[in-house]
Structures are given as structure tokens and as C-alpha cells.
């Protein structure tokens, strides 16, 4: 987790930290299960629409059935709030994830270029 609001000297105890981590992991699993269920339902709906008899093309220019079968891809990380903190789960294969691999507490890094560049410092790892 990357945050600028939590002070390192205000660390919680190891047992509290492990309990927080366990609850956070369970919450992340729950969030991912919801996302999976939503994606599965969308795929089923798209399949049903694409194969519905009412969507059979009437001519070579009729693409309603074809268009009904497309799902827009999703990008970015999963964002949610947990115990009053904003959390974003990112994959190691994402551009941000690749940039953060190998970083440790206190490491600094930069994202973006030119006037759109932002500087960050890792102040907490969960």
C-alpha cells in the first residue's frame, strides 16, 4: 500500500498488524469474488444477446448480434474502502505494479513524465 498519511512511528503491534492483514486479505477476496460474479453475469448476458433469434442479421450490414457479443475490457486496479482507508489492489503485471516490484519501505519513485509526473514515497507496506 502506498500512502502519505500514515506515519511510520505510529506503527501498530505485530499481532494487530497480522489481524489487519488477515481481515484485509479476506476483504480483497470478497471484492474479487464480486467482480468475478459481475463479469460472469455480463458474459452470460452478452452471449444470450448475441445468440438470441431476434438478433439474427437481416442483411450483411446488420451487426446487432455481433455488437451484442462484445464486452468492454476493464483496466486498472480494484479500488475499495477498508476500515476508513482507500485501498487499491494492483497486479504485478500492470505498469504501476512493474514499477513497484522490488521497492521497499522508504523507497521513492516517480510516475508519469514532464508536467504530469508525480513523486511518491512508500510509507507503508501491508
Measured distance CA(99)–CA(95) in Å, rounded:
6
**Region 37-52 average pLDDT:** 83
pTM of the model: 0.59
Q: Where residue 46 falls among pLDDT bands split at 50, 70, 90? A: confident
Q: Where residue 10 falls among pLDDT bands split at 50, 70, 90? A: very low
What b/e sequence results for 90-107 when a residue is b if at least 16 CB atoms lie within 10 Å of its CB, and e otherwise?
beeeeeeeeebeeeeeee
Is the pLDDT at 25 greater than 80? The verdict is yes
Round to the nearest angstrom and report the end-to-end CA distance of the chain.
6
Q: Where residue 13 falls among pLDDT bands split at 50, 70, 90? A: low
Name, of 24-38, 82-96, 110-124, the range with top average pLDDT.
24-38
pLDDT of 27 reads: 92
Between 41 and 5, where is the model more confident?
41
Is the pLDDT at 53 greater than 80? The verdict is no
**Contact (CB, 8 A) for 120 and 109:** yes
Amino acid at each position: 500500500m502506498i500512502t502519505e498519511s500514515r506515519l511510520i512511528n505510529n506503527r501498530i503491534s505485530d499481532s494487530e498488524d497480522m489481524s489487519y492483514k488477515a481481515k484485509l486479505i479476506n476483504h480483497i477476496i470478497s471484492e474479487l469474488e464480486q467482480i468475478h460474479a459481475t463479469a460472469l453475469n455480463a458474459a452470460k448476458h452478452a452471449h444470450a444477446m448475441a445468440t438470441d433469434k431476434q438478433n439474427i442479421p437481416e442483411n450483411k450490414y446488420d451487426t446487432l448480434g455481433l455488437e451484442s457479443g462484445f464486452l468492454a475490457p476493464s483496466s486498472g486496479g480494484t479500488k475499495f474502502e477498508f476500515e476508513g482507508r482507500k485501498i487499491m489492489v494492483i497486479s504485478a503485471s500492470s505498469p504501476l505494479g512493474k514499477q513497484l516490484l522490488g521497492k521497499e519501505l522508504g523507497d521513492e519513485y516517480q510516475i508519469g513524465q514532464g508536467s504530469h509526473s508525480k513523486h511518491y514515497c512508500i510509507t507503508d507496506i501491508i
